[in-house]
Amino acid sequence: QVQLVESGGGLVQAGGPLRLFCVASRTTLSLITTSWYRQAPGKQREAVATITSGGSINYADSVRGRFTISRDNAKNTVYLQMNSLKPEDTAVYYCKSVSSSTTYWGQGTHVTVSS
């Protein structure tokens, strides 16, 4: 079964950077679409950034210009570089992929941005 493992979360001051990692097993991320989502306390889960197999990228308006999604095919890893972090970016960040019409989620990594 496909497994996604996120890491890189933590506590950071507002304005600082953080880099998240999504490592996949039993699937090849370069062949599918992978997305980062986040869920803040008391809020619905929302899409943050997406990268397709062809390399097309989309961002939520709230993070465009601050976050960058990228992929290392050799490491089967998708990254989310987060810069200029704001307290409102505080959330659990999840990696999601769709493979053979099945959606897979990682367990999430916590990001806390202090003001």
Helices (H), the chain: none
Q: What is the DSSP letter of 32?
A: S
What are the pLDDT digits (tens) for 2-59? Answer: 899 999 999 999 999 999 999 999 888 988 899 999 999 999 999 999 999 999 999 9
Relative to beta strand 67-72, strand 57-59 is unpaired
What are the pLDDT digits (tens) for 63-96? Answer: 999 999 999 999 999 999 999 999 999 999 999 9
The rounded distance, in Å, linking the Cα atoms of 38 and 111 is: 9
